Structure 1
Amino acid sequence: MRKLILQLHLWVGLTAGAILSVVGITGSVYVFQPELTALLYADLYQSSNQGAKIVDARSIVKTAEKQFDGKVSNIFFPLRELENYIVKIDGKKEFIFYDGATGLYLGEMAKRRGVMEDVLEIHRELTIGEMGSIVTGISSLLLVLVLLSSGLYLWLPYKKKQLKDGLRLKPNASFKRRNYDVHKVFGFYFIIPLFLVSITGVYFAFSEEVQAVVDYVTRTKEPTPDVTKIKSTYRADLPEVTIAQTLDMMDEMYPGYYKRNLIMPKDSADRIYFSVVNTAEVDAGPEYRPQVYIDQYTGKVLYAYEPHTSPAGRQLTRNWFVPIHFGEIGGWLTRILWFFTGLMPAILWVSGIIIWRGRKKKNKRNKVLHRNFSTQ
């Protein structure tokens, strides 16, 4: 049995490990995305007066629509190291930045987070779109179901006195022994963080399937709606809800929350979407983020995710999975831990390859010796 599990661990690790290494390293970088983006694009992300009161979004909308002679379709509000407004104008590809303290135009950028968007794309999709998302999702699932479980089984010592060797790096060891210890010891200590990162990562690739499993486990009877199918019913007799009216709704419905983003309809069948969040900073704990879908003609709420009153299964995935996946669940402590956790797949993959090659060479030598001995 042990030999079979070892072979399973080996070949799954050699194949999925390459994908997980890329996903892990980009994930490590993305843990500090808010701070890195603000640092890399300080002229666009950091306000001219960091202590000043944030100007009202309505004035930003008026300024942008007048400046570019078009309707504002998206607003990203000052939040999580972003101290300024970002807006999108219909027909314009670039993201437009306005100072959060003065409302003045700052500039434009092709991607909202610049190079960090590329990091996220590699992390999620390996730059190959939906197929890449499936590949990363399956690799994460293999890590959870095969690599971590088989690794733990192989780590377990035969005798209690061998337990100490599985918990520490042996001092003054040879390169071969040190590499083996790195694979074994680091794999053991990071098994729980790797499990949490991977299982939540599977959710981002296969959200409907994972949500169904979570709903079943938590005995959630009310099915989670497919938000991609939420549409407005066209009404020629009614005017469209304006962006100003939507901002009023955000203020009235969630006075104690911080506005996160607002997306206006793309066509006559689309709906208005907005979300708010419980904290403006990168904080510890669950993320309470109400998300609301509104009919663009009647202003009626078509669906609203409420983080405190929604079914248990939905609360688990939406309140907890994002901060767990990105390491924000425990604040700076878990963010730093998650940074090193992201490096582990690459470390375990490389050390595993070295172990495998060493055993191949050993087996080859043994075969040669056996053949020479047989011919004598």
Structure 2
Amino acid sequence: MFLKLPPAIRKIILQIHLWLGLITGLVVFIVSITGAIYCFAPELQQLTQPYRSVEAKRDRFLPASTLIAIAEKQIPDKKAKRLYYGQPNKAAYALFFEKGGYYHTVFMNPYDGTVLKTKNMRKDFYNIILYLHFTLLIPYGQEIVGWSTLIFFIMIISGIILWWPRNKAATKARFQIKLKASPKRLNYDLHNVLGFYSSWVLIFTVFTGLIWAFDGFANTIYKLTGEKHSIIQQKLPVSDTSQKNMLTPQKAIDKVWYQVENEMRSTYKAVELILPQTDSAAILLRANPSEKTFYKTDYRYFDQYTGREFDNAYGWGKYSDVTTLSDRIRRMNYDIHIGAVMGYPGRIAAFLAALIAASLPITGLLIWLGKRKRK
């Protein structure tokens, strides 16, 4: 199947592709190269940051209140916002968030409470890469990244149209890179051929990025399928403030932990307790049965005064309660974004596609400069 556009239409598409690329090239390069680095951040963190690991034992983990108290001694005048438990060979850690999105993390041995590392995440390499990826570390950076991502999505579509062969004779050149060609021709092939191959991965990567940037894209999934949320998204449970004297906050959080402790050995690979920040808020437990993906995570809510678990008609709820395809896809957004939904092959594909995406503004700029020089 060939695509033979009228010369005038093709020229318009080419000009749109060119100028959008010149406008967003630097942002696309930064977002793409940081995305490539972050694809394997969990493995790299575990490899390069020894305080994330402990010697596995058969002993029980310390209760949540004990680890929180230990962590809060390391960060005076601050309250922990989250507590994370991992597998028997992984450190537990408490998170202390600050304005601007940065935070401190206290890594602890979950068996005896030994503090392994207190870290200012402003100085953590992988955290800097992450914030650079979606904020550029500048004011209004998140909005700039969002609109640049939308423009890049348009460029992917226009690039596929421009790449598409017009006749049988042009087909072979569209799929192969002539390594022995002149530098100018080689650069042209690197932009066109690699751009085409990577575009089929980048379409998913970019679209999932747009879902975070714009609410309208998140709702697109439901409009395309004609389905509604199977979980009540906006309504969140409220703790019963009349029961304030029922349990101390420490005993309430421990009651939640003890309810899920046994499930850590049989069902869940990691759990995260998100502590209430107001008198009426509930304790949120995010429990994940996988270490490789996030979409099957259960979201469970508990009263902060009684430790009683609410039903699952709140937030994302339990994965087993999801009944619609659109909700399953929506949950997969992050895993699709980094390729994890297809395991390591998917992550490698996302990594390579991100590297190629980072090269496209460079090769495209060289093509444009070459044409200007010739003129």
TM bin, normalised by shorter chain, reads 0.7 to 0.9
Q: Does the C-alpha gap of structure 1 residues 137 and 88 become closer, same or farther in structure 2, counting only changes over 3 Å?
A: closer
Q: For residues 112 and 297 of structure 1, what CA distance do their matches in structure 2 show? A: 34
Shift of 1:14: 1.4
Q: Which residue of the other structure, out of 264, 268, 271, is the alignment partner of 1:260? A: 271
**Aligned 8 A contact 1:53 1:101 in 2:** no
The amino acid that maps onto 1:344 is I
- Alignment correspondent of 2:223: 216
Q: For residues 325 and 223 of structure 2, what CA distance do their matches in structure 1 show? A: 10
Q: For residues 123 and 329 of structure 2, what CA distance do their matches in structure 1 show? A: 28
Shift of 1:235: 1.6
**Aligned 8 A contact 2:82 2:275 in 1:** yes
Shift of 1:332: 2.1
- Alignment correspondent of 1:94: 104
- Alignment correspondent of 2:176: 168
1:150-299 to structure 2, matched below 5 A, reads 150-206=158-214, 208-222=215-229, 225=232, 227=234, 230=236, 232=238, 235-238=241-244, 239=246, 242-251=252-261, 256-279=267-290, 281-282=291-292, 287-297=295-305, 299=308
Bigger radius of gyration among the two: 1
Q: SS at the partner of 2:150?
A: helix
The unaligned stretches of length 5 or more in structure 1 are 364-376
The unaligned stretches of length 5 or more in structure 2 are 1-8
Count matched residues.
349
Q: Which residue of the other structure, out of 24, 28, 43, is the alignment partner of 1:20? A: 28
Are positions 1:65 and 2:69 aligned together? yes
Are positions 1:315 and 2:322 aligned together? no
The amino acid that maps onto 1:34 is P
State the superposition RMSD in angstroms: 2.9
Q: Does the C-alpha gap of structure 1 residues 197 and 53 become closer, same or farther in structure 2, counting only changes over 3 Å?
A: farther
Q: Does the C-alpha gap of structure 1 residues 113 and 40 become closer, same or farther in structure 2, counting only changes over 3 Å?
A: farther
Q: SS at the partner of 2:241?
A: coil
Q: Which residue of the other structure, out of 281, 285, 305, is the alignment partner of 2:317? A: 305
**Aligned 8 A contact 1:260 1:276 in 2:** yes
Shift of 1:17: 2.5
Q: Which residue of the other structure, out of 83, 98, 108, is the alignment partner of 2:90? A: 83
**Aligned 8 A contact 1:75 1:263 in 2:** yes
The amino acid that maps onto 1:61 is S
Q: For residues 43 and 122 of structure 2, what CA distance do their matches in structure 1 show? A: 14
Shift of 1:171: 3.8
Q: Does the C-alpha gap of structure 1 residues 226 and 17 become closer, same or farther in structure 2, counting only changes over 3 Å?
A: farther
Q: SS at the partner of 1:107?
A: strand
TM-score (norm 1): 0.83
The amino acid that maps onto 1:52 is K
- Alignment correspondent of 1:38: 46
Shift of 1:340: 1.6
**Aligned 8 A contact 1:258 1:278 in 2:** yes
Identity %: 26
Shift of 1:309: 2.7
TM-score (norm 2): 0.83
Shift of 1:13: 1.4
- Alignment correspondent of 2:373: 361
Q: SS at the partner of 1:288?
A: coil
